[in-house]
Amino acid sequence: MKHFVKQPEPSNLCGQSCVAMIAGITLDESIKVFGKRSGTYTKDVITALQKLNISCGDKLIRISKTQKKSDFCMVVVRAKKFKRYDHWVVFKDGQYYDPAIGIANDLNGDFHDPIAYKLQWYEFERHETSYLPIN
């Protein structure tokens, strides 16, 4: 990962932004790889990473007390108040790279990226549901 990629406000480009971060490409290049400028499903993310020759898991792995996430992965995050809205973030070396609000050591902590902005969605406690390992 070479740089932080901010997701445009407002947009559903979190998946494309995370792939751009992982691949070290621009958001526009990532959107071209995905072939769409809208929300993404896991299969879309996997296909995009594979097109960029980035090795990843072939499915999401549910996070639980016994199943911890890998050190480098894309994490599906959900705000407890909004049960039907998922969001992609990158987790690497103990830090969360959230394309909507910045970089932090804790998913519910203080994000410290100077370009961060806040959406109503982030005013509620968030939790990880699953992850896609990046090899």
The pLDDT tens digits for 65-87 are: 888 899 999 999 987 666 667 89
Please name each of the domains of the chain with its CATH number.
14-133 (3.90.70)
Say what the alpha-carbon torsion angle 83, 61, 56, 135 is, to the nearest 10 degrees: 120
Q: Tell me, what amino acid is at 40?
A: T
Return the pLDDT at 88.
95
pLDDT digits over 21-38, tens only?
Answer: 999 999 999 999 999 999
> Rounded to two decimals, what is the model's pTM?
0.87
